[in-house]
């Protein structure tokens, strides 16, 4: 029986180290935790979901794959009611608003003893801006492809010394350094979206135009340098 792990979730697993205790919030089917346990990577997994049905499916899958004894299951939103005894928090497959609300609710995560693995489905620049403004640093970031979609996946630690610019919120320094073969395609995608937004701001005479144009020019420069 093979676990149907997407490239996106596999990239999240790559940031988990041997012996880590993992909390997978919004676990749904539970595949991430099951993979980490059945491959002897994680020591234990806290699996949680805000909805009963996905959590039940995680429970059943964990039994099917013989790892239920190393997983605990929690029906709750975010991390507020979870035990704090983990090393890595994974938030994957959720939009920026959900991830931001989970992080805002848990200032205790701003501690060097935790690592966060974040895979955000929307408004990723908002997430990177929030992380930077709250003392988090993106230590590593890469890209995964499933079908025609590209997914940035990041490893985040608490380090208030990291400096980021507005353009970095769209393509982080860690992602630019990642050497991912998907980076040119990803930058083209970001540039395409940014051009539409700049054109829209130009038409409406919005005061944010100059700032957005400068970001676009910076990202185009990075693209040329690849
Ligand atoms: C699209 S699924 C992603 C599942 C899995 N993490 C993945 O990346 O494949 C999102 C899951 O997060 C759960 N969820 C949404 N908001 C949540 C919250 N605030 N706390 C915990 N779970 C949440 C949903 O019920 C759903 O099962």
Domains of the chain, by residue range, sit at: 7-163, 181-226
| CA-nearest residue, atom 22 of ligand 1 | 26
| CA-nearest residue, atom 9 of ligand 1 | 93
Predicted local distance difference test score (pLDDT) of residue 43: 98
- Could you tell which of 3, 23, 26, 78 is best to mutate to test the pocket of ligand 1, judged by most ligand atoms within 8 Å of the CB? 26
CB 111 within 8 A of CB 87: no
**61 CB within 6 A, ligand 1:** no
What crossing angle do the helices spanning 209-225 and 183-204 adopt, rounded to 10°? 160
**168 CB within 6 A, ligand 1:** no
Could you tell me the distance, in angstroms and rounded to a whole number, from the CA of residue 69 to the centre of ligand 1?
A: 22
- Each residue of 57-97: pLDDT tens digit? 999 999 999 999 999 999 999 999 999 999 999 999 999 99
- Could you tell which of 11, 28, 154 is best to mutate to test the pocket of ligand 1, judged by most ligand atoms within 8 Å of the CB? 28
Length of the chain in residues, anyone? 226
pTM: predicted TM-score of the whole model, two decimal places: 0.97
**28 CB within 6 A, ligand 1:** yes
- Each residue of 195-217: pLDDT tens digit? 999 999 999 888 899 999 999 99
Domain 7-163 belongs to what topology? Rossmann fold (3.40.50)
- What is the token pair recorded at 170? 């769209």
**152 CB within 6 A, ligand 1:** no
**9 CB within 6 A, ligand 1:** yes
Could you tell me the distance, in angstroms and rounded to a whole number, from the CA of residue 208 to the centre of ligand 1?
A: 34
pLDDT band of residue 118 (cuts 50, 70, 90) is: very high
The rounded distance, in Å, linking the Cα atoms of 220 and 24 is 36
pLDDT band of residue 1 (cuts 50, 70, 90) is: confident
Q: Where are the alpha helices (DSSP H) in the chain?
A: 7-13, 31-38, 52-64, 96-104, 124-133, 173-176, 183-204, 209-225
- Each residue of 150-199: pLDDT tens digit? 999 999 999 999 999 999 999 999 999 999 999 999 999 999 999 999 99
**30 CB within 6 A, ligand 1:** no
CA 141 to chain centre: 9
């Amino acid at each position: 029986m093979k676990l149907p792990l997407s490239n996106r979730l596999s990239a999240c697993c790559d940031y988990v180290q041997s012996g880590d205790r993992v909390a997978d919030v919004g676990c749904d089917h539970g595949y991430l935790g099951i993979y980490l346990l059945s491959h002897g990577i994680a020591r234990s997994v806290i699996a949680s979901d805000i909805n009963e049905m996905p959590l039940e499916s995680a429970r059943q899958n964990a039994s099917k794959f013989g790892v239920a004894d190393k997983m605990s299951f929690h029906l709750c939103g975010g991390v507020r009611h979870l035990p704090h005894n983990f090393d890595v928090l994974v938030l994957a497959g959720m939009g920026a608003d959900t991830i931001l609300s989970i992080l805002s609710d848990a200032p205790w995560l701003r501690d060097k003893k935790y690592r966060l693995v974040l895979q955000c489905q929307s408004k990723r620049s908002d997430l990177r801006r929030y992380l930077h403004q709250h003392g988090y640093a993106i230590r590593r970031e890469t890209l995964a492809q499933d079908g025609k979609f590209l997914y940035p996946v990041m490893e985040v630690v608490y380090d208030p010394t990291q400096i980021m610019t507005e353009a970095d919120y769209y393509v982080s320094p860690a992602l630019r350094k990642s050497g991912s073969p998907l980076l040119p395609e990803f930058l083209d995608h970001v540039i395409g979206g940014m051009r539409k937004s700049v054109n829209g701001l130009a038409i409406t005479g919005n005061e944010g135009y100059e700032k957005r144009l400068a970001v676009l020019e910076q990202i185009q420069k990075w693209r040329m340098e690849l």
